[in-house]
Amino acid sequence: MKKCPRCLRLTMQNDKYLNSLSRRDNKTYICNPCGDEESHIDLRNIQPTAAEKRFVALLKKKAGPNLP
């Protein structure tokens, strides 16, 4: 198992396509529980968790100003 870049837990499947594609940049694979959490944040319009905020900041740092 590999570490999820969003929650930093060892929850990633070895085959990346068995994981979830992040809704934040549509390029990064994250673990399935994090994928579920992202969808709940978007669909229910709830407050982002600390993991969500940290992950979005990391993606913005990698992508530059192109990430909304």
Model pLDDT, residue 61 = 85
Q: E-assigned strands of the chain? A: 20-21, 29-30
Report if residue 50 sits inside a domain. yes
Amino acid making up residue 6 = R
Which SS3 state, helix, strand or coil, does residue 64 take? helix
Model pLDDT, residue 67 = 57
Report if residue 5 sits inside a domain. no
Q: Quick check: 68 pLDDT over 60?
A: no
pLDDT grade for 65, boundaries at 50, 70 and 90: low
Report if residue 37 sits inside a domain. yes
The range of the structural domain enclosing residue 26 comes to: 16-66
Q: pLDDT per residue over 7-58, tens digit each?
A: 999 999 999 999 999 999 999 999 999 999 999 889 888 888 888 888 888 8
Number of domains in the chain: 1
Q: Quick check: 66 pLDDT over 70?
A: no
